[in-house]
Structure 1
Amino acid sequence: MTEAARAETNAILFPIREVSRATGVNSVTLRAWERRYGLIQPTRTDSGHRLYSAADIETVRNIQAWIERGVAVSKVGKLLERSQAVRPAPVVVGHGDAWGEYRSRFRAALVAFDAAALARLFQQACARHSKAQVFQDICMPLWRELLLRRDEPGHAGEWLLLDAFLRTQALTFLQAGEHPARVVLTALAGHCHELELLVAGVLLGGEDIGVQVFGPGLPLAELALVGGKLHPQAMVLFSNRPPSEEWLAQLKRFALSLDCPLALAGDVCDLIEKELAGSAIARLGNTGPLLHGRLQQFISGHLDT
């Protein structure tokens, strides 16, 4: 590696100490995730020092998120592969990642606790991209980053400001207009944050599908009563938690008691593929285009569960 090439590489890559500082994951753990589980693959300098890209840092944060939800680190690799396989390529402007540039501007507004600037940035982003893209590719990655760091000095207020702002925006979107299709979306207590559920409603819905959100925290027995009164075309349960055997058994019994089809959305879809094989319960996934498209298929009866 020439000196010029090394300088160029070091300008866009980060040493392990910087990654540890940015993510809160100590260097011993980062090395273990690499050597033992193959979860990250940093490049090496001629002297053997590890260098991490921005994509590597994003992967580290995704690993943290899975572990926080109760997933064993030994199972994270397959989940990362699946999520990356369905992830759309980033929008590139010039030589930069457009989503990353947006997130940097959002982050600056949060650091300054400037709610007005946050609102302006959100409106500007929505003028160029769909609300689903803005939530999924700009806002939620930043929200998850701050969620993992909210116990660090200076980050709690930033996370709370962003969380409150995004909940307001998601509710406004979900409550606007009437749509021909009615879908009930909820989550059991402890299975997700409220914002994650609301954003799932944004990603599931659209001009052709109206989503009514309940919860999180609505018991299954109450959900059955809601279904009896609203007569939805489908019910969707959202979860980002690893399911227990008891929960799966309860879910299968609940599906048999409904007059409408039942589907799951969220990260749980990547965790119970084998357990739901052959059942009538559909798995819609956890990313925007996939969620909306599979819900359309599910409602029309064309989705193979």
Structure 2
Amino acid sequence: MNYYTIKDLEIISGIKAHTIRIWEKRYGFLVPERTSTNIRFYTDEELKLLLNVAALVKRGHKISKVAAYGEQRIHEEVLKLSEQSSSMDDYLDQLVIHIINFDHLKFERVLDSVQEKLGFEKMMTELVFPLFRKIGIYWQIGSLFPAQEHLISNLIRQRIIVEAARCSVSDQAPTALFFLPENEWHELGLLYSRYLAAKAGVNVIYLGQNVPLDDLQALSDQIANRLAVVVTSFVSAIEKEKLEDELQKIGGIFPNIPVVVSGMQVRISEPQLPANVRFVQHYDEFHDWLLKKALPGTFD
């Protein structure tokens, strides 16, 4: 069982700690336990209850009425809410609840609903990636099991792969090489970029995670003359000097090929880039650049 502080509850639910304490005293629907040093803590069940209550209150239900519902009525009202959802905040709240509950079926139903209404790309950029930013915060404070993060990452990964497989590519299409460098495992962003490239008609060679530089060099010696662009990403923590060294080496392995790099570490560190390496921050920017610059063979 996971245990949470009141600060954890505030971060996950969006309800201020002061408000949670008031609700506890006035309505008694949360009953925290206490450590030997009198610090309050909460269980998984109390977190789930608070998330459901918060979802209702955010959508206009009065807390005084919600507190009198009882858990079964609260569950029923949240279910009704999920059927009427129209905003991304609604969907985000639902997904967080399903993640906490390890309910992958309901998690996927929400994604199915959003994808049907808005399309795959809007689902990814307006729902899935904001969700993972939230998950990153929860993971930092220890409020998610690694298994929960792995579960939803794999569910999203499968969706991206399915969508990419639907894209048709001709034998004459330009070729792009996608990879993650050594010790880099966060691939969802790169996978989505791969989908955008496939949608644009690019023939993608996808190497995946944790690719050693020696392997890249060997591959470059073999297929560099076929490549229109190389794409990589740095998300995991890395010192600026090490990042610059890695980028210099990658640029050197593919000296005559544009290299596109993305990821939080590049955005934060603002490293000096080799002449043939370009940083792109947004997926729209990557897609536009891919179509206008890389594929015709220009790079400026």
Normalising by the residue count of structure 1, what TM-score does the alignment of the two structures yield? 0.59
The answer for the alignment partner of 2:233 in structure 1 is 238
Distance 1:221 1:210 in 2: 23
1:275 aligned onto 2:272: yes
| 1:234 maps to amino acid | V
For residues 213-238 of structure 1, the C-alpha deviation after alignment (integer angstroms, 9 at most, x for no partner) is 22211112212333433722111121
Q: For the pair shown, which has the larger CA radius of gyration, 1 or 2?
A: 2
Q: Which runs of 5+ in 1 are unaligned?
A: 1-16, 28-95
| 1:256 maps to amino acid | G
Distance 2:12 2:102 in 1: 22
1:263 aligned onto 2:263: no
Tell me how far 1:134 sits from its aligned partner.
1.4
Q: Which runs of 5+ in 2 are unaligned?
A: 1-5, 17-84
On the 8 A contact 1:242/1:271 being kept in 2, the answer is no
Tell me how far 1:125 sits from its aligned partner.
1.7
Mapping of residues 14-33 of structure 1, within 5 Å: 21-22=10-11
1:288 aligned onto 2:283: yes
| Total equivalences in the alignment | 216
Distance 2:297 2:268 in 1: 24
Tell me how far 1:203 sits from its aligned partner.
4.7
| RMSD of aligned alpha carbons | 3.3
1:145 aligned onto 2:134: yes
Quick one: which of 211, 215, 226 aligns to 2:208? Answer: 215
For residues 58-111 of structure 1, the C-alpha deviation after alignment (integer angstroms, 9 at most, x for no partner) is xxxxxxxxxxxxxxxxxxxxxxxxxxxxxxxxxxxxxx9832222123223333
1:166 aligned onto 2:156: yes
Normalising by the residue count of structure 2, what TM-score does the alignment of the two structures yield? 0.60
Distance 2:209 2:179 in 1: 6
Quick one: which of 220, 223, 234 aligns to 1:229? Answer: 223
On the 8 A contact 2:92/2:127 being kept in 1, the answer is yes
Mapping of residues 60-75 of structure 1, within 5 Å: none
The answer for the alignment partner of 2:248 in structure 1 is 252
Quick one: structure 1 residues 125 and 210, their matched pair in 2 at CA, closer, same or farther if it must change by over 3 Å? farther
Distance 2:151 2:234 in 1: 24
Identity of aligned residues (%): 14
Question: What secondary structure is seen at the aligned counterpart in 2 of 1:233?
Answer: strand
